[in-house]
A and B are shown apart, each in its own frame.
Chain A
């Protein structure tokens, strides 16, 4: 009989089930990045002039910047000239007008991923936008959303059809010079989702985008922009997968949320990019800037993320609480296994009066992985009666992994109330044995204990995605006990 430590060892060798490659005819730019490449990209997408100017400005700034090195991450230097900045499935004419015109290979891919794009097959109430490498390939339920006045489309399409809205809001939360990866994204982003919810509208269904990296040696730079106008409400989910490849691939996304008076955005992420193999070869480098601005009074943003994939995750979905009485929430589960590294957390910037924020972070480390929570709670001079509650828990599976916590608090207003709680625990051999003694396999036991640990976050996810997240956690821990 093997000892419990060995069993944990064995359970930590997971299999990535979305690791297949789709054979498609594609248009891909040769590797390399300069102003000509950006001009070509902007031209292919037939963008308005302001976009090219915006991109070039970002690019020029990016060239003066350095890759950030403050995170608790060990990253091989990235050669930005060896990456291709555009890859798209070849399409007839101007692209598919309906699903019948989408390459069947592509539809198959989404079927394998469990994302049926066929509207008839959809679970009621979820509209899907699917982004494959650099372009959006299909958006479902457009008609029904249009009736409600909701705009949900690829951002490239929004640039054609609603350029004034894009121009007004793009870069208004994350400026093009915000940080190294955000600047790169602003220069080269290819597609992503655009959502506009008009005044007083409660979006009639969940909106969802699935991102898929397929082509080798390409980066994916998507851009998401969501605007919730006064008194509106929307729940949005993104999911991500990629094939298994030996080389690392770069994903640098920017997500901007704008919330006006009395509006609410609930943004949920299930991130399952390819994490690399059990020896740490390959995997996605995931450098994401996500930020929400609660511009209106009494507005609310809730970020929920379940991060199980990627070789490296660098991601801090943040809330700028500008409007009085606005609310920011961040619920996170980050699971790292094998050689994965995650440095993730949030920033809550309290500017308005009576603003409140909640941070619940659950980090799980298995194998030889390193998991870091990094969070900033900042209360400005004007933010009377600001409140924050932070709870930050780490769970270790096995004895070769690490958990780190870096909470930063800056308070300039004496009436602020800030609470911080943190725990670190280990799945004990006694817990594992207890569950086995009751008839559960070690694998099911670990999965159950981890799910229990994450309960407070999972209850924030929309129902069907909570089930998906639980299953994903089980898969990601597969092989982490014997």
Chain B
């Protein structure tokens, strides 16, 4: 599904990604861990097409397409989704309006009929139960006045409705208390399927207690320095990042 080869990226003159290689097949859940400043968030930003990053080397093939040449909205419509670390507020635009506009933009692009208001309401009411959200969230402005946990749940709600093929979660666990973390994790787990892949970016092992990854990668100094199964996360937790950074050096 996704093949990243020797990816180098920088912001201004600062080089951040220095040769990332990663293969993700349909249905797989990959976790990217690593210390602050390793380039974890940058990786998700470059893959989703956020402005401000310059790719200096390497390529990314997503479902046979050259992902890096696509505009951000075309990547989204092709099924690339990013749950943001810091979701933005959009005053005056209701959550339900944004969700419907987004779903229909994606459906239209893919030659599907747009969903009408009634069908959409049925769909969205079904999904918000999954995330134990109150219906009133649908009519509030996007993320405006939401708590940290509500914002993160809202991101997963968007994923549940847009049904992406590649779902990237950028530190979705940060700022969540344990109850909220469980709800978000349950939401993510309910989205797991044979043809949907996940790329989870996290600092801590604790998210991985709830969402069990197939693969764990350690990103340090702009490179994946170690890969392994779910057990690698536990080892990291015990030994700290210095352990892998030391190995890489």
Contact = CB atoms under 8 A, between A and B. Distances in A.
B71 A431 contact: no
A451 B93 contact: yes
A439 B162 contact: yes
A441 B104 CA distance: 12
Q: Which among A439, A441, A451, A456 has the highest number of chain B CB atoms within 10 Å?
A: A439
Contacts of B87: 434
Contacts of A7: 51
Interface stretch (A99-107, A240-248, A442-450): A442-450
A451 B103 CA distance: 19
Contact of B84 (A2, A3, A434, A436): A434
A433 B92 contact: no
A431 B90 contact: yes
**What does DSSP make chain A's interface, helix, strand, loop or mixed?**
helix
Nearest to A2: B51
Interface stretch (B32-40, B73-81, B129-137, B230-238): B73-81
B73 A441 contact: yes
B73 A442 contact: yes
B160 interface: no
Nearest to A456: B92
Contacts of A439: 73, 76-77, 102-103, 105-106, 109, 162
Nearest to A423: B91
Contact of B88 (A4, A430, A448, A453): A430
Contacts of A449: 90, 93
A91 interface: no
Contacts of B141: 452
A156 B51 CA distance: 58
Interface string A417-448: 00000000000111101111111111010001
A256 B106 CA distance: 49
B64 interface: no
A233 to B, nearest CB: 29
Given A434-B87, A436-B71, A439-B109, A452 B52 contact: no
A433 B44 CA distance: 13
Contacts of B71: 1, 436
Interface of B: 48-52, 71-73, 75-77, 81-82, 84, 86-88, 90-93, 97-98, 101-103, 105-106, 109, 141, 158, 162
Interface of A: 1-4, 7, 428-431, 433-442, 444, 448-449, 451-456
The 10 closest A-B pairs by CB, nearest first: A452-B92, A452-B93, A438-B102, A436-B72, A455-B92, A439-B76, A439-B105, A439-B106, A436-B73, A4-B51
